[in-house]
Structure 1
Amino acid sequence: MATEEETKLQLFLQWLQVNGVELRGCNIKYCDSSKGFGIFSDTHVSDGVFLVVPLNLAITPMRVLQDPLLGPSCRAMLEEGEVDDRLLMVLLLTVERLRKNSSWKPYIDMIPSSFGSPLWFTDDEFEELKGTTVYRASLLQKKSLRAMYEDKVKDLVKKLLILDGDRESEVSFEDFLWANSVFWTRALNIPLPRSFVFPGSEEETNLSKPSQDSGSENHEANGIAGKVDINSGQGETLWVEGLVPGIDFCNHDLKAAATWEVDGTGAATGVPNSMYLLSVNQGHSEISKEITISYGNKGNEELLYLYGFVIEDNPDDYLMVHYPAEALHNAPFSDSKTQLLQAQRAELRCLLPRSLLDHGFFLDCTSENKTTPESSVNKTCNYSWSGQRKTPSYVNKLVFPDDLLTSLRTIAMQEDELFKVQSLLEELVGSEGEREPSDTEVRAAAWEACGDCGALQLLVDLLNTKLMNLIEGSGTEESDTRLLQADSVMSKNRRASIVYRRGQKQLTRLFLREAEHVLQLCLDQEKPGSS
């Protein structure tokens, strides 16, 4: 490790100690240029606790509002609706990066100056993603961030710097992009006692307090899964997003060596209101081994988009199938179909995990004990009240979720089928509409009216289009494999892009094969006289 990196690390370790962080069975070390710093075990700990961080060190919205210099202005911005709680933390990071005498400097200096997500790619590297979902999403994201910077962030950061007496520092888009990337790659959704979030009689602000479910949008999605050990006597638990210095230097691994937990009472660590790193194999930690955590079961699309890395042969990889909303608006009877989609609670997007393929028509025949997951079965076939539509012969091998087929079935409906759905529902609930049919009943009526052929044909078309776009953007799956085998010194970003896009091509091809096969079976069954 270079001397400069050693100096940064020593200052950071001193800063952690001053702020009450306890490294009980671990140390922070430099891994390599691709991973940066990581946490490594250095002594055996009988209770399995490697690291303890007081949560008053975490960068949370409350911490920003309590800052003696920035707090009053940030509180006014929040109350006036200029910022939300996430932007509060991004603003703090941007300001602290530019402040000449920041108390956060030892921590800021340890964070990489650039990131591996597509927002940081060179133009040539970004072209490697052409035809993928990440390519389109990153273009939109960068455009949105640029607009936010020009319209709001630049002036707000300047205003906060002037409060610090700094009228000279120039704020750049890269400063904001850096702070935004720090938040989205390192923040966690932290469960805290209400008494910790709002101590004493302190008045609550407009801070958004995400529930455990709403937090999953961000940091089941974007952070590290953890647990809470809060004494129920302390009252309600609030889920608050924030950065926890020290914990956030853990790198990801599918086989995690540790998990984080919150100790509200101090019973586990002796430090109330703290977050700690706990070995998954208590008392059996291997000395000098890196302590990794799991960021969750994430596909390469999400890993690349958020964190800037991918996993080769990722068992949690998935394919996103999306029917464009604008195409629905331009379709015949779009208003009726939109209402029908809403009545069925159907979505235009669906994630198809790789694991679904283990239960289809082309599964590995040498595998034993393969069973069809309940969620993959098209259950609407069991709801026929007229008995005119037979249960599909393929139902137990169907890998596509009912939510997806529900949406596509509705979009593909012909005029006579729409009228039939209406007629069936009137028969069920009465022409006067004494009650509203349930979403399950509407799905059943839609299935009985038109079956699966239209939905499966539309699915085949969507998958064919997706595969064509991927190939037109960057070549075939085979050409990607040749590139990865031939060039062992390509940039990390280019390699990650090729691994990701190759996986998308493979999944699209495999799901297309399933869809084409099921469509043919469906067409055969629909023929007159078929049994």
Structure 2
Amino acid sequence: MGRRKSHGSSKLKQVLSNNHALHAKKKEIAALCEKLFYLSSNPAYTNQLWENYLEISDVLEKVKKLEEMKTESSSRSQWIGQFTNWLNENGAKIDGVSITEFPGYDLGLRAERDFTENQLILEIPRNLIFSLDTAAPELASLQNDPLIQHMPQVALAIALLIERHKGNTKWKPYLDILPTNYSTVLYMTAADMIELKGSPTLEAALKQCRNIARQYSYFSRVFQNSDTPVSALLGSVFTFERYCWAVSTVMTRQNLIPSEDGARMVHALIPMWDICNYEEGRITTDFNGTWNKCECYSLRNFKRGEQIFISYGSRPNSDFFVHSGFVYMDNKEDAFKLRLGISKADSLQKERTELLERLGLPAVGEFLLKPGTEPISDSLLAFLRVFSMRKAELTHWLDSDKVLDLKHVDCALGTVVEENVRKFLLTRLKLLIANYPTTLSEDLELLKTSLPPIRKQTVQLRVTEKKILQGALEYVEQWIKS
């Protein structure tokens, strides 16, 4: 009898000890989330992004250890049969294509017959499209939450987590075939991130990581301190790594489709269509309101056995890198984002700002350098001309009714202004190229070696940026000689 009592007592002590440890762990995570929210929200850090990123990363490492996440890395290929059956059973038309692995791409769509340009490839009905209209009705309990209300991508990420952690969900075949991790900036370490030194994309990457850290710490508090169906579902399973997964899934796959009533556009994930990898070209996907389905047409001719590609739209590599986790090396729509501004200390700031407003240009903003034979955009040229003018020229153009001529290369301007524009560009371009720790030729040599995927991606980005800068520099040098 005595022994049984002792055994029961030790079991009770063990339970109490476990509960105490769990409570202590939750308390520690909550304290770290408070610190994280402060670090990622305080505007004082916006001018110290790198130091802020390192502090946030340090706190997140502690959070991840406490959350004890085990990397979920099951092979997506094992779920292909279950997924295609689910699509067919629910009205999708996917004849003539299959899902397969392609070197360097993970999964992609394979043509099982020849397709000609503009031929219909996929039809995905609305009931299979993952959106706030078709999934996670529990999210209605958070409809007044400011992040859920005003940030549809965030709401869609939370909806993904809700469906993933339900006991029974119709979306399981789709959720199973999604990647278990991504190559977005959220999966980069500080050692990966430092590879972007000198690149203007570094700032965008750091800000993205900061924003997601803030969102995670915010929702962690919401789910622990509120009594809603969402908190009941996610309170015990919401972790930073799971939130990164959900956010990356949305960032790399989201699309806009009309709502059921056609009154607004909603963010959505389109199963099967989102397995298509990117190729430059026109967008060949549309939503057919009459038949209530997404239709994807062939971008070009595809032969049987080839991988089928689609275009995600025209975007520079910096956007693809930060939000989609890849770099497209031959991107004709690529651009180098050059940040320029009129100083508040400039004695002619008022006149310059007024003239820029008439040109529809900001006094501080990003201007694009493009690849190809015309790297200097009309907007950049006009800004630099206003930036280089003296008082007499500013007065002249403020009184002129031909102010838009400033955007044209052959606009008649004083020699001094044009010389100043060229000298400024020459100096700035040389400085931007020198900001990178490596040269273009060194990066090209690196790409010939075997690199981890994320490291390769950062080197590819540097190469595309440096090629634009080099091309612009050669253009300006030629311009000066002419």
Shorter-normalised TM-score: what interval?
0.7 to 0.9
What is the distance in 2 between the residues matched to 1:246 and 1:483?
35
Corresponding residue for residue 382 of structure 2: 406
Corresponding residue for residue 378 of structure 1: none
What is the distance in 2 between the residues matched to 1:160 and 1:9?
38
Are positions 1:120 and 2:187 aligned together? yes
How far the C-alpha of 1:242 sits from its partner, in A, is 1.6
What is the distance in 2 between the residues matched to 1:425 and 1:50?
55
How far the C-alpha of 1:116 sits from its partner, in A, is 1.3
Paired residues of 2:220 and 2:238 also in contact (CA < 8 A): no
SS of 1:321's equivalent?
A: strand
How far the C-alpha of 1:164 sits from its partner, in A, is 7.5
Q: Partner letter of residue 269 of structure 2?
A: L
What is the distance in 2 between the residues matched to 1:5 and 1:296?
26
How far the C-alpha of 1:407 sits from its partner, in A, is 0.9
Are positions 1:263 and 2:288 aligned together? yes
Which of 20, 25, 28 does residue 91 from structure 2 map onto? 20
Paired residues of 2:119 and 2:297 also in contact (CA < 8 A): yes
Corresponding residue for residue 51 of structure 2: none
How far the C-alpha of 1:142 sits from its partner, in A, is 0.7
Corresponding residue for residue 369 of structure 2: 352
Q: Assess, with a 3 A threshold, how the Cα gap between structure 1 residues 161 and 172 changes in structure 2: closer, same or farther.
A: farther
Q: Assess, with a 3 A threshold, how the Cα gap between structure 1 residues 58 and 153 changes in structure 2: closer, same or farther.
A: farther
Corresponding residue for residue 60 of structure 2: none
Corresponding residue for residue 317 of structure 2: 300
SS of 2:244's equivalent?
A: helix
Q: Assess, with a 3 A threshold, how the Cα gap between structure 1 residues 166 and 350 changes in structure 2: closer, same or farther.
A: closer
Are positions 1:276 and 2:295 aligned together? yes
Q: Provide, for residues 265-307 of structure 1, a one-character-per-residue CA deviation record: whole Å limited to 9, x for no partner.
A: 3xxxxxx1111232356xx753332221122344433332222
Q: Partner letter of residue 198 of structure 2?
A: G
Q: Partner letter of residue 90 of structure 1?
A: A
Which of 357, 375, 395 does residue 342 from structure 1 map onto? 357
Q: Report the aligned-residue RMSD.
A: 3.4
Which of 485, 507, 518 does residue 468 from structure 2 map onto? 507
Corresponding residue for residue 27 of structure 2: none
Corresponding residue for residue 91 of structure 1: 158
Which of 238, 261, 266 does residue 197 from structure 1 map onto? 261
Q: Provide, for residues 39-77 of structure 1, a one-character-per-residue CA deviation record: whole Å limited to 9, x for no partner.
A: 22224689943321102322234335xx4433x314343
Are positions 1:52 and 2:15 aligned together? no
SS of 2:307's equivalent?
A: coil
Q: Assess, with a 3 A threshold, how the Cα gap between structure 1 residues 90 and 514 changes in structure 2: closer, same or farther.
A: same
**Matched ranges for 1:206-221 at <5 A:** 209=264
Q: Provide, for residues 350-408 of structure 1, a one-character-per-residue CA deviation record: whole Å limited to 9, x for no partner.
A: 22221235xxxxxxxxxxxxxxxxxxxxxxxxxxxxxxxxxxxxxxxxx5233112111
Q: Provide, for residues 429-477 of structure 1, a one-character-per-residue CA deviation record: whole Å limited to 9, x for no partner.
A: xxxxxxxx5752787999469642222222222212211112xx3x111
What is the distance in 2 between the residues matched to 1:127 and 1:12?
39
How far the C-alpha of 1:157 sits from its partner, in A, is 8.9
What is the distance in 1 between the residues matched to 2:388 and 2:380?
12
**TM-score normalised by structure 1 residue count:** 0.67
Corresponding residue for residue 232 of structure 1: none
SS of 1:301's equivalent?
A: helix
Are positions 1:73 and 2:137 aligned together? no
Are positions 1:42 and 2:102 aligned together? no
How far the C-alpha of 1:6 sits from its partner, in A, is 4.1
Q: Partner letter of residue 28 of structure 1?
A: I
Q: Provide, for residues 470-500 of structure 1, a one-character-per-residue CA deviation record: whole Å limited to 9, x for no partner.
A: 2xx3x11122122223x2x221221222122
Paired residues of 2:182 and 2:325 also in contact (CA < 8 A): yes
Are positions 1:62 and 2:133 aligned together? yes
Corresponding residue for residue 37 of structure 2: none
Paired residues of 1:463 and 1:512 also in contact (CA < 8 A): yes
What is the distance in 1 between the residues matched to 2:418 and 2:296?
50
SS of 1:329's equivalent?
A: coil
How far the C-alpha of 1:250 sits from its partner, in A, is 0.8
Q: Assess, with a 3 A threshold, how the Cα gap between structure 1 residues 513 and 442 changes in structure 2: closer, same or farther.
A: closer
Paired residues of 1:252 and 1:294 also in contact (CA < 8 A): yes
What is the distance in 1 between the residues matched to 2:289 and 2:349?
52
**TM-score normalised by structure 2 residue count:** 0.73
Are positions 1:476 and 2:465 aligned together? no
What is the distance in 2 between the residues matched to 1:321 and 1:153?
37
Q: Provide, for residues 102-144 of structure 1, a one-character-per-residue CA deviation record: whole Å limited to 9, x for no partner.
A: 4322212211121112331233222222111222210111112
**Matched ranges for 1:370-389 at <5 A:** none
Q: Assess, with a 3 A threshold, how the Cα gap between structure 1 residues 152 and 460 changes in structure 2: closer, same or farther.
A: farther
Q: Assess, with a 3 A threshold, how the Cα gap between structure 1 residues 286 and 335 changes in structure 2: closer, same or farther.
A: same
Structure 2, unpaired ranges of 5+ = 1-72
What is the distance in 1 between the residues matched to 2:397 and 2:89?
71
Once the two structures are aligned, what percentage of the paired residues are identical?
23
Q: Provide, for residues 142-199 of structure 1, a one-character-per-residue CA deviation record: whole Å limited to 9, x for no partner.
A: 1122122223465259858744743752312222222221112111233x3x7x335x
Are positions 1:148 and 2:215 aligned together? yes
- Mean CA deviation greater in 169-178 or 448-457: 448-457
SS of 1:328's equivalent?
A: coil
Q: Partner letter of residue 479 of structure 2?
A: V
What is the distance in 2 between the residues matched to 1:402 and 1:450?
19
**Matched ranges for 1:382-397 at <5 A:** none
